[in-house]
A and B are shown apart, each in its own frame.
Chain A
Amino acid sequence: MLEFLQQLINGLAQGSIYALIALGYTMVFGVLRFINFAHGDVYMLGAFAGFYIGPKMLRLFGDQPGYGVLISMLLVTMILCALIGIGIEWLCYRPLRNRPKLTVLITAIGVSLFLENGGQFLFGADPKSFPEILTDRYISLPETWGRISELGIQLSAAISMLVTVILLFGLRHIVLHTKMGMAMRALSFNPVAASLMGINNSVVIAFTFGLGSALAGAAGILTSIQQPSIDPLMGISAGLKAFVAAVLGGIGNLPGAALGGILIGVIETMVVGYISPTYRDAIVFGVLILILLLKPTGLLGASEQEKV
């Protein structure tokens, strides 16, 4: 039981990272109806942004790892990744906006390969050691729960879960309670009608890309403080898992993406802990196939009526 609870905690920590990345997939799909396969690589760029910004931030804070460094680094990285996301949309997807969706999808794969190989060229292919911006330790959970004293969590994992929750609520606020959020929702509902009502679609789409990429950048930092080894290909598997998470939760659905991410993280950890890591990917993708067969709209996705 103790071991199971510990695995659950591990799974939640991993899942919260997937959730952050999955949100970007789902938002872009919501407004543009296409899967941005380069999204996982923006997550990688986030980690590398942290790698280069980290030492500078540390110097700024007197070479003392701590929360100030982490927060300022998160903010800078998120802004940087937002700009990268907007740039990618402007350069690669905007010229193709009225082309068939397949053209855009293939372009997205191209952008992804460009970032992966460009990353190897620019940063080097060797795994890099992420700077220590937070003194990590193991926190034992209080003994007030009786015998459960050996249970614990990595400080970095706890922080990354907390940051994820904060970002999720921030995102929810933007989407539900701001003008920009309302425009995003309108656009995802009907782009033509939205533009007729005076919404500047290009601005909204750029904003969506920026927002999604900022979350991916944050995920890059949060992973790297837990697993301080980063490489230019780290976005491939994380991006794929987050994509599965978005589909599992119902693509286009924000709470669905968060739920899907957490579920994939927990399933993965349980498979590794109790069965074998060999089957991890097989089971994750098995879940995807199963959900597509049984409930193609995903767990929280509403069925959409074809407009005639």
Chain B
Amino acid sequence: MKTLLLSMLATAGLAASLFAADEIVVGEFASLTGGNASFGQSSHKGTQLAVDEINATGGLLGKKIKLITEDDQSTAGQPATIVQKFISQDKVIAVLGEVASSKSLEAAPICQQNKIPMISPASTNPKVTEVGDYIFRVCFIDPFQGTVMAKFAQSKGWKRVAVLTDVKQDYSVGLAKFFVEGFKKNGGEIVKEQSYSTGDKDFKAQLTSMKSLKPEAIFLPGYYGEVSLIAKQAKLLGLKCPLLGGDGWVGDSLLKVAGNSLDGSFFSCHFSAQDKSPVVQSFVEKFKAKNGAVPDDMAALGYDSAMILAEAIKKAGTTDGDKLREAIAATKDHPGITGSITLDEQRNARKPAVILKIADGGFQFEQAVAP
């Protein structure tokens, strides 16, 4: 009996080690819990869907992809630890993550140093890819999004706009900066610039000081958690102007908390599940079948980031860091869920943005803006 057990164990061990050699290990760090959990969960589901699909169709270079996912709890300090572990312990060939720019900025220097390619699904802050030539992203960047929203506000005829920024998020500060620049350049007036910090719950002080200035719109480039509360409190304080935002608004909980306070507001994002194109619709179907919910931007971007990596591994024919980097950098017209993706010299994705309107408790496609 004992020998049988031992031999079983030995076989299992042997199998495991053989199996390990047959895998391509990819590390993914995401905010699965904490303040950005809605984003992290979503992008993870998208990434997982892509990996499952690749493995189901035979994997890459004759090997299966093994995705190791670690939760950074939406906390600063965690991404660095996780990525260190990925590289030294798990021997990953590439890293996927994160949604939040602050987290990506923490992990990027480590990947760069170790020459491990990193693809961020949704970090829009320009600084992320400036870290070095091993860092990529599949989303557009803040200047584009901020400028798009400034143009959009002006196309609506608004001249006096207030700005409310989350000072703890590089993302929010970045968007606000380019919005203000773009808006002023074309003769608009920023009546007030106010700020808050991630995790705040009471925004009546900021909203009160804005109310007396009667802005025509408020640019609010924050994340859904705070945005939903701000919207609710703004409505209760009697601020009737529309709110404008970016892709940080995307999240299941936005409308759950905000109720109808966001009706008539607009935000820019990467993707709309209402898009009729077959690429999008087949993705929506697959995602629904697996997760029982309609995918959001983050899911689509997570999917795209994994698919671009897979494409590059296939093209490079190896998982060697240098060659893989070259292959990712050469990505051109990749038919992604979030549009046709081409990576430019700065390793940023060039692709259109989508502006959505909130009405009747849902998102409606308003217009697409090409770069």
Contacts and interface: CB of A to CB of B under 8 A. Distances in A.
Interface of A: 2-3, 6-7, 10-11, 13-14, 120, 125-127, 129, 132, 136-138, 150, 152, 154, 223, 226-229, 231, 233-234, 237, 269-270, 272-274, 276-278, 280
A206 to B, nearest CB: 32
Contact of B201 (A138, A229, A278, A280): A229
Interface string B150-167: 000000000000000001
Interface in B289-332: none
B44 to A, nearest CB: 14
28 contacts: A2-B212, A7-B208, A7-B209, A10-B202, A10-B204, A10-B205, A14-B202, A125-B37, A126-B253, A127-B35, A127-B253, A129-B257, A136-B236, A152-B237, A154-B204, A226-B202, A227-B202, A227-B229, A228-B232, A229-B225, A229-B229, A272-B206, A273-B205, A273-B206, A273-B208, A277-B195, A277-B196, A277-B206
B371 interface: no
Interface in B174-207: 195-197, 199-202, 204-206
A150 B211 CA distance: 10
B257 A278 contact: no
Interface in B229-249: 229, 232-233, 236-238
A212 B101 CA distance: 41
A138 B237 contact: yes
Nearest to B199: A237
B34 interface: yes
B228 interface: yes
Contacts of B232: 228
Contact of A229 (B196, B206, B208, B257): B257
B265 interface: no
B2 interface: no
Contact of A3 (B38, B196, B208, B253): B208
A272 B205 contact: yes
B202 A277 contact: no
A267 B10 CA distance: 67
Contacts of B276: none
B148 to A, nearest CB: 27
B316 to A, nearest CB: 37
A226 B201 CA distance: 9
B206 A223 contact: no
Given A127-B253, A269-B205, A277-B197, 9 more contacts: A7-B205, A10-B202, A10-B204, A125-B33, A129-B257, A229-B253, A273-B206, A276-B195, A280-B197
A126 B257 contact: no
A21 B236 CA distance: 25
A10 B208 CA distance: 9
Interface string B86-108: 00000000000000000000000
Given A229-B257, A277-B196, A277-B206, A137 B201 contact: no
Contacts of B256: 129
Contacts, number: 87
A38 B204 CA distance: 28
A277 B256 CA distance: 26
Majority SS at the chain A contact face:
helix
A129 B209 CA distance: 27
Q: How large is the interface on B (under 10, 10 to 19, 20 to 34, 35 or more residues)?
A: 20 to 34
Contacts of A277: 167, 195-197, 200, 206
Contacts of A227: 201-202, 229, 233
A50 to B, nearest CB: 15
B201 A223 contact: yes
A87 to B, nearest CB: 26
Question: Which 5 A-B pairs rank lowest in CB-CB distance, beginning with the nearest?
Answer: A125-B33, A273-B205, A272-B205, A10-B204, A227-B201
Interface in B245-269: 253, 256-257, 259
Contact of B167 (A270, A273, A278): A278
Nearest to A3: B212
Nearest to B168: A278
Of listed A2, A223, A228, residue having the most chain B CB within 10 A: A228
Contact of B208 (A6, A223, A280): A6
A127 B238 contact: no
B296 to A, nearest CB: 14
B228 A229 contact: yes
Nearest to A156: B236
Contacts of B205: 7, 10-11, 269-270, 272-273
Nearest to B208: A6
A129 B34 contact: no
Of listed B195, B205, B259, residue having the most chain A CB within 10 A: B205
A165 B232 CA distance: 26
Nearest to B224: A127
A57 to B, nearest CB: 19
Contacts of B167: 276-278
Interface in B120-165: none
A93 B259 CA distance: 43
A127 B212 CA distance: 31
A126 B199 contact: no
Contacts of A154: 204, 233, 236-237
A276 B206 CA distance: 9
A5 B232 CA distance: 21
B368 to A, nearest CB: 30
A108 B148 CA distance: 50
A125 B232 CA distance: 22
Nearest to B228: A229
Contacts of B208: 3, 6-7, 10, 273
